Structure 1
C-alpha cells in the first residue's frame, strides 16, 4: 500500500515506518514498502525516492527495513516508475498536469495530457536507476526487491500493445515489448548480486480490449522467468480497470486467482496471487490446490494487521475482515492519508498499537450496540474499565443489521458479530432489549457514558409513504417477502443504490428515483464509479424526479420539466436517508460526569467515523 507521510523530498516518514512495522509485527511473512520511484527526472510523482543525494533518504529507508525485520518479516521494497501516469497520487492536480509525461510512445492521454516517447538514452538512464536504487535498498537492509511491472505503470506500458506503438527494438513483437522489463531485471540483479530474491509484479492480463490477454501473460512470464525468483500475478490496470486490480465488493473473493493459476502451469519459479483475499480458509485452499505458492494481502492487512498471527494462533473468528468499501484508497486520493472503516488505528500506528491501562478504573455505560458503540465498549474494557453496553433491539449491530440481506455486503453484517466477540472477550457486559433511559442511566450511576444511539430512517410526510406496499430500506432484511417483481427504490443515495443493485441482481425490475441530479453523492470517490456501473446494469434511473405521492401503482413524481409522471412499481423501497436520534442524546446528555456522543447520534455520517469516534471516546475516559 503506497506511502502517506512522504516528505517533500521523497523520504519515508515516521508514520509510514510505523505502519509497515505493524504489518510485520502482525505476522506477515514479508512486508513490501511501496512505491519507490526510481527516476525522478522522468517521474516526478510524489512517492518515495532512494537517493544518497537526499538527506535522510537512506536513513529513513534503513529504519523502515529494520522496523519490519525486527519482528521476523522479510522487508521488501517496490521499485517503480509511473511512466505516462506520473503524478497520479499528487493532491495538486495542476502541478501534475504541468509535468512532462514520458511513455513508450508519443500519444495524448484521455485527459488531454501529451505524452512523449522515451528516447534510447533515457531508457538506458532509467534502467541504470533501477540498478542504483536496488543497490541502495540492499544497503538499507531490505532483503527482497519487488519490481512493479503491472497495473499500467511504465514497465506494463512497454509490455502492452495498447500503450506501446514503438517500431524499434522495444516495440512490435512480444519479445521486443518484454525487452525493457528484461533490461530492468538484469540491472537489478547487477545491483543486488547473486542469491538476493527479486520479485516481479505483473498483470496476468490487462483485462480490456486492446490490452494483452492471459495467453500473452503466460508468454511474458516465460520470457522473464530466467531473471526473477518470484512471480507476483495481479490483474488489470489502474487507468482502465480499477475494480479489476482492486476487486470491489461486487466481485467474488479470489476472482483474479485464475490468472496466477494458469501462469503457474508454465513456469517453474514460485507464483504469488493477490486480489481481495481476506478469508484464511480460501487462502489455504488456493495453496493446497496448487493455484499459487504465496498469497498476498493489502486491504485485508489494513483492516486487521494481526490477521496472519490470528490464523497461526487459531483465532480466525477474531479476524476483522476488510469490507472492500474503498475508504482506504479514497482517503489516500483525497487527503494523502490513510483511514479504514474497521480499523481506527490505521495510519496512526506511531501512537502505539497497545491499549494502555487506565490509571483509575471507572464504570462505563455505552448506549447503543452498533459498530461505534461496540468498538467503544471493546476499547474501554481493554483499558480495564467496568463496561456495560445496552442495546434496545433484540440483536446487536445497529444499522449493520440491514446489510445481511445484501450478499455483496455480508462482511459488513459480520462485522458486528466480530466486534461483539472481541467486546465479550474483553469483559464487556452486554444487555440486549434494554434501552438506556435517563432513569436507567441514573440507576447505573456510571462515571462515563458513551451515547451511540445511532440514527432513524428519514420518512418525510409524503402521502402514501406509510402504505402497505412500502418497505423502509433499513427493514428490507426483515420484510423481503413483501417485495414484488417491480420495485421503485425511492432515494438514490448510497443505501438506495446498493439496494437497487441487489434487487436487480435478483432479477427484479428496478426503477431508481432521485430528486437530485446525481446518484450516491455520499459514496466515496473509489467506490462510487464502480457502484454507478452496477446501477447502469440493474436499474432504470430517474434523476431530477421529486416524489409527490406513493400509491399502489408506484410513485407519482414531478420531473425536471414540471410534469407529473408515474414511476411504476408494485413495491416501494424508501431510502430517503437517516436522521440522528437527537431526542435520546438530549435526554442522556447530563447523565454522567463524562459524556461522549459518537457516530450517527452525533452526525449522520459513516461507519468509519462511528468506529473512529468510539475508539477515541473510550481512550479519553
Structure 2
C-alpha cells in the first residue's frame, strides 16, 4: 500500500462522526461477540472487563457489548453459556463496573439487547422456543465458513409460531432491559435482529409464513421490530442512541436479497433508529456471515441498497471489511459511516491505533482460520491463535485444558471432519 493510499485510509477512518448526538472519535467499531466469559450467573467477570479495556486501550471508537441476553427466555434457551444478563435489576451494578472501566479510556460503549434466540434456541425444561413461524434452521445448508464443520449437518428443532401475546411480552422485556442498560451507564444500545434469531425471523419471507398483521408485506414483517424500537425510544428518550443489527441478504432460495431487506429496514427506521449494523447472511448461509475475503458485503451491493432505502440520516456500519482502504473508500463514497470488526480485533486489539496512525504495516491480520468460532461452537474458552494475549487479558482467567484444545484442533481438521461427516450420515441413514 503506497503512502497516498495509507494516508487516505488514516484520514477517513480516523475522523469523528456522531450517532444521534453522541460523538464517536473514529470510525472503527468493535462489534458484539460471545467471547466474554462472564460469571456462571451472568455478570461481567474480571476477564470480561479486561477484554473490553484492552480494546478501548487499542483505540477503538465504539464498543458494542454482545454475548448478552435481554430476557429470561433468552438466558434459558441459549445454545452457549453463560451470557451477560440485562434481564434483572440485580445485574445493573455489575454492568456499571464494565461501563465505568471502558469510560476510563473515553470510549463510548453500547449494549446489545438480545431478546430471544428464536429459530436457533434450545428447548429446555419443558419450555418451547418460538419464532415468527414454525420453520427450523438447516445449519449451513448454503455453506459453512472456512475451517468450520458440522458432521452430518444439523437441523434445529422447529419453533412454535409466536403468539401476539408473546411478541408483546418480549417487547416489554426489551424495554425493561433498555432501562437497565441506561441505568448501568451504557451510552447507547442496539436490538439484535440478525441471523436466525427472534426478530430476524419476522423480517424475511424465508422464515415468516404468517398471515396476520406480522406477515406478508414488508410493512407487516417489520411490525414486531418497529414496535419494539418505538417502545424502547419512548423509554430512553430522544437523545439516547438506538440501533438495530439486521441481516442484509439471505443468500438462500425463498429468501430476500439486499433490496428486500432494505425495504423492510425503511419501515423500521421511523420507530426511532439511529443506526443499522449490517450483518450478511444467516446460519443457513453461514459462509456469507463469516467470509474469508474482505468486503464481500460491498461486492454484493448491500450497504448501497440500505443507503438508498433509509437515506443519509441513519448511520450504517459495515461488517467483515478489515481492509482499511476498502472500508475507507466505502465510507468516503457514502455507502456506510463506520467499519465494524470482530475477528480482526481479536487478532489485533491495536488495529484502530495502527490504522489511525498510518502504521498498517504493523497490523497482525486475522487469517480467518476460525478457531475462535470452533471454540464458541464447542463452548470452550475462546482464544486467538494469532494473538496469545486474547482470552488471557486477565491473568487469572480460566483457560482451556489440553483436551478442549485438542477438540478444537480436531474440529478444524478437514480429514477428521470428513470421516466424522461420513459416519454421522451413515448412522442417520441406518436409523431411517
TM-score, normalisation: structure 2: 0.75
Matching of residue 173 in structure 1 with residue 217 in structure 2: yes
Query: Quick one: distance in 1 between partners of 2:216 and 2:308?
Result: 26
Q: Does 1:236 align with 2:281?
A: yes
CA distance in structure 2 between the partners assigned to 1:3 and 1:341 by the alignment:
14
1:22 is aligned to 54
Deviation sequence 1:115-134 (CA, Å, 0-9, x none): 21111111111001111101
CA RMSD of aligned residues (A): 2.5
CA-CA distance at 1:208 after TM superposition: 0.9
The structure-2 alpha-carbon separation of the partners of 1:522 and 1:273, relative to structure 1 and needing over 3 Å to count, comes to: same
Tell me which residue corresponds to 1:83.
118
Deviation by residue 1:34-80 (Cα, 9 ceiling, x = unmatched): 032222236522322214454xx112211111122221211011111
Confirm or deny: 8 A CA contact 1:157 1:163 kept in the other structure: yes
Find the residue that maps to 1:350 and give its secondary structure: coil
Pair 1:64 & 2:109 matched? no
Which of residues 327, 330, 345 is equivalent to 1:283? Answer: 327
Instruction: Determine whether 1:34 maps to 2:66.
Output: yes
1:273 Cα deviation from its structure 2 partner: 3.6
The corresponding residue for 2:86 is: 50
1:213 positional shift: 1.6
1:326 touches 1:527 (CA, 8 Å); kept in 2? no
What is the 5 A alignment of 1:220-299? 220-226=264-270, 227-237=272-282, 239-248=283-292, 252-257=293-298, 258-268=301-311, 269-299=313-343
Larger radius of gyration, structure 1 or 2?
Answer: 1
Contact 1:148/1:201 (<8 A) preserved: yes
Q: Is 1:331–1:337's contact at 8 Å kept on the other side of the alignment? A: yes
Cα separation, 1, equivalents of 2:352 and 2:213: 45
SS at match of 1:351: coil
In structure 1, C-alpha distance between the alignment counterparts of 2:408 and 2:61, rounded to whole Å: 37
- Structure 2 residue 107 is matched with structure 1 residue 73: yes
Per-residue CA deviation, residues 79-119 of structure 1 (Å, 9 max, x unaligned), is: 112112124xxxxxxx7696521111234555362421111
State the match for 1:100 in structure 2: 128
Corresponding residue SS for 2:159:
strand
C-alpha distance in 2, partners of 1:329/1:42?
A: 20
CA separation in 2, counterparts of 1:152 and 1:524? 27
Q: Say whether residues 1:313 and 2:357 are aligned partners.
A: yes
Partner SS, residue 390 of structure 2: coil
Distance 2:85 2:274 in 1: 24
Shift of 1:186: 0.9
Give the Cα separation in 1 of the matches to 2:74 and 2:48.
Answer: 25
* Cα contact 1:247–1:275 (8 A) shared by 2: no
> 1:185-200 residue pairs with structure 2 within 5 A?
185-200=229-244
| 1:92 match | none
Residues in 2 aligned to 1:273 and 1:29: alpha-carbon distance in whole angstroms: 13
Aligned-pair CA distance for 1:246: 1.2
In the alignment, is residue 129 of structure 1 matched against residue 166 of structure 2?
no
> Which structure 2 residue ranges, 5 or more long, are not aligned?
1-32, 139-154, 397-406, 419-432
Greater strand proportion:
1
Change (3 A) 1:209 1:96: farther
SS at match of 2:245: strand
- With a CA cutoff of 8 Å and minimum separation of 6, indicate the structure with the bigger relative contact order: 2
- Write the distance in 2 (CA, Å) between the matches of 1:224 and 1:140: 26
Give matches, 1:332-351, under 5 Å.
Answer: 332-351=376-395
Given that 2:118 and 2:159 are in contact with CA atoms closer than 8 Å, whether structure 1 keeps it comes out as no
Number of residue pairs matched by the alignment: 351
Tell me which residue corresponds to 1:119.
Answer: 163
**1:454-493 alignment runs, 5 A limit:** none
SS in 1 for 2:63: strand
Alpha-carbon contact 1:174-1:220 (below 8 Å) kept:
yes
Report the Cα distance in structure 2 between the residues aligned to 1:205 and 1:156, rounded to whole angstroms: 11
Unpaired runs of 5+ residues, structure 1, are: 88-94, 353-520, 533-621
C-alpha distance in 1 between matches for 2:75 and 2:338: 31
Paired with 1:260 and 1:107, the residues of 2 have a C-alpha distance of 28
CA deviation map 1:558-580 (0-9, x unaligned): xxxxxxxxxxxxxxxxxxxxxxx
Deviation at 1:339, TM superposition (A): 0.9
User: Residue 324 of structure 1 aligns with which residue?
Assistant: 368
